[in-house]
Amino acid sequence: MRRVQWGSVAILAALFIASLCVCAPTLRIPGLFSWLMAPEYPKLMLELGLDLQGGVDLTYQVSVAKSVLTTKAVDLAEVTAVAKEVITDRIDMFGVTNSTVQVQGEKRDQIRIQVPTADEKKQREIKDIVRMTHLLQFNEVLGEAANEAELDTTQPDTIALPLVDQKDQQTGKTRPSNKVFLLKKTPEMTGEYVESADCIPGQLGEPEIHFEMTGEGSVKFGAITQRLLHKQLAIVLGGKVYMAPVIQSQITSRGQITGKFDLEEARRTVKILRAGALPAELSPLAENFVGPSLGEESIRSGLRASLFGGLSVIVVMILFYKISGVFANICLALNLLLQLTALVFLGATLTLPGIAGFALTVGMAVDSNVLIFERIKEELRAGKTVRASIDAGYGKALWTILDSNITTILTGVVLYHFGTGPIRGFAVTLIIGLVVNLFTSIWGTRVLQDSWYSGKEIETMSI
């Protein structure tokens, strides 16, 4: 005779509730966990992959730009690394969270850019902006005002562009600026002539931006700065003015920008001065655009299929194994929740193959329980008591379950190693699902079954 393992049951229940809490924002369960939705709690959300929320996925082959004339041998991997930095800065301007820029390929000479945005206009802009060899412009400032209406844009060759979002010194939050510049539309020069830029503390510790022009650039910039002496020259990128310093003296090869800006602003300007010129040529290897509706439909049909699949498994398990089937189903639910929790904590993104991995684990997770229950049935048929049958069933099925799960996990690892993108997502969900499965199906159902058949000696078993 055994007692109910209240401790273990409590652990199971606690795990259930804890994982439900973690998954609540992801599953968008309102009401029950409304306090979790409150803004002051950090939200642990499972991010959706590109294929689900829409976005762009671009892969480019990097080659040395024809415009870059070099005498020394160029290391393509190095160029790629620089190009990656430049592209990262450019992508950052769109402010899309979870954008990634990675270097890939055996020779480390490919760049993959993934931006999860369903906005088709943005998608197109991203594609265009990434490959531009130079997009930084220096424009002459003709005037400035609080809003566009106050500026006279009727003149030919003029354009009104806003100042980039400013960071509030006190609150630290970025807010849209209330300054618009009237610029000469034709740029004085483009960013391709900027050789390097850096942020250096000045004599009083205030940040200064130092930059250097290329040989050709020095001549051009010298002429421009002479012509626009004591006038403002705007640094423009992506339709926004980043800074509009007044030219104090003629600048040829080296110059510096000083003034009332903090380190962060200085750093940002350095970044865009560098981001202006791409030292490489990019040729597309793969371009994938996913619109918003396709992803939405994929999620809906994917979840619906998983739901129906899950429900059918639940029904089948109860039909086959009655009360024991109910235990298996409880553990299946726990399995799915824990799986989701693990993904949330790993900061993984849920892709379409990931959903498939989920659906598949539902089918596979009950396999362990089927194995155990069939074994228990056999022991019962052999005339053993309920107690002894449960013990024997779990004991004998253990290694079989371990073996079969480990081989699938191993193939999952191989899949992860050789796979890319969404396939990796699938491999991760598969591996997590199986590991969690070992825990829930072997330990979880055991606890429930032991507790159910504890107390008085039971003659028959619902299985």
Partner 1 sequence: MIYFEFIKNRAYFYVIMIVICFSGIVFPAFRGLNWGLDFVGGTEFIIRFQKDVHDDQIRKKLETPEFAFLKGLQVQRVVESVGAEGAQTGVSFIIRTSAQPEEIKGVDDKLVRVLSTINPCQRLSTNSIGPVIGKTLVKNTKKAVFWSCVVILIYMWFRFELRPGIAATLGLVQDTCGMLAILSITGYEMDLTAVAAILTVLGYSINDAIVILDRVRENLRLKRKMPYDELVNLSINQCLGRTVYTSITVVLTLLFLLLMGPMVLRSFSLVLLAGVVSGCLSTISVTCPMLVDWHLLVDKPRVKPEAQKA
Using CB under 8 A, which residues numbered 317 to 356 contact partner 1? 317, 320, 352-353, 355-356
Nearer to partner 1, 207 or 310 (CB): 310
Nearer to partner 1, 193 or 373 (CB): 373
Select the residue interacting with partner 1 from 283, 383, 456, 460 (CB under 8 A).
Answer: 283
Residues 398-437 touching partner 1, rule: CB under 8 A, are 399-400, 403-415, 417-420, 422-423, 426-427, 430
Q: Minimum CB separation from partner 1 for residue 321, in Å?
A: 9
Name the amino acid, one letter, at 208. E
For residue 65, what are the contacts with CB-CB under 8 A and spacing of at least 6? 133, 278, 279, 280, 281
Number of residues located near partner 1, criterion CB under 8 A? 74
Alpha helices in 231-384 (DSSP H): 263-275, 292-346, 352-381
Residue whose entry in the numeric block shows the structure tokens 């024809």: 66
Beta bridge partners of 210: 198, 256
Minimal distance, residue 237 CB to partner 1, in Å: 23
Task: For the segment 211-240, give every residue that binds partner 1 (CB under 8 A).
Answer: none
Exposed/middle/buried for residue 414 (C-beta within 10 Å: 0-12, 13-18, 19+): exposed
CA distances from 305 to 110, 298, 301, 332, 356 (A): 37, 10, 6, 17, 9
* Residue where the block lists tokens 């592209």: 87
Among the listed residues 363, 395, 455, 457, the single contact to partner 1 using CB under 8 A = 363
**Among positions 67, 70, 102, 312, the unique one binding partner 1 when judged by CB under 8 A:** 312
Least distance CB 193 / partner 1 (angstroms): 27
Give the E-state strand segments of 194-311 in sequence order. 194-201, 207-213, 233-237, 240-243, 254-257, 280-290
Q: What are the structure tokens assigned to 456, written together?
A: 């008085």
Q: How far is the CB of 62 from partner 1 (least distance, A)?
A: 12
Residue from 259, 288, 345, 395 touching partner 1 (CB under 8 A): that is: 288
User: Where in 72-131 is the site for partner 1 (CB under 8 A)?
Assistant: 105-106
Segment contacting partner 1 by CB under 8 A, of 216-224, 260-268, 306-314, 438-446: 306-314
Shortest distance in whole angstroms from residue 106 CB to partner 1:
8
Q: Is 51 in the site for partner 1 (CB under 8 A)?
A: yes
Q: What is the 3-state secondary structure (H, E, C) of 56-119?
A: EEEEEEEEECCCCCCCCCCCHHHHHHHHHHHHHHHHHCCCCCCCEEEEECCCCCEEEEEECCCC
Among 5, 8, 61, 252, binds partner 1 (CB under 8 A): 61
Print the binding letters for residues 364-383 with partner 1: x by CB under 8 A, - otherwise.
x-xx--xx--x--xx--x--
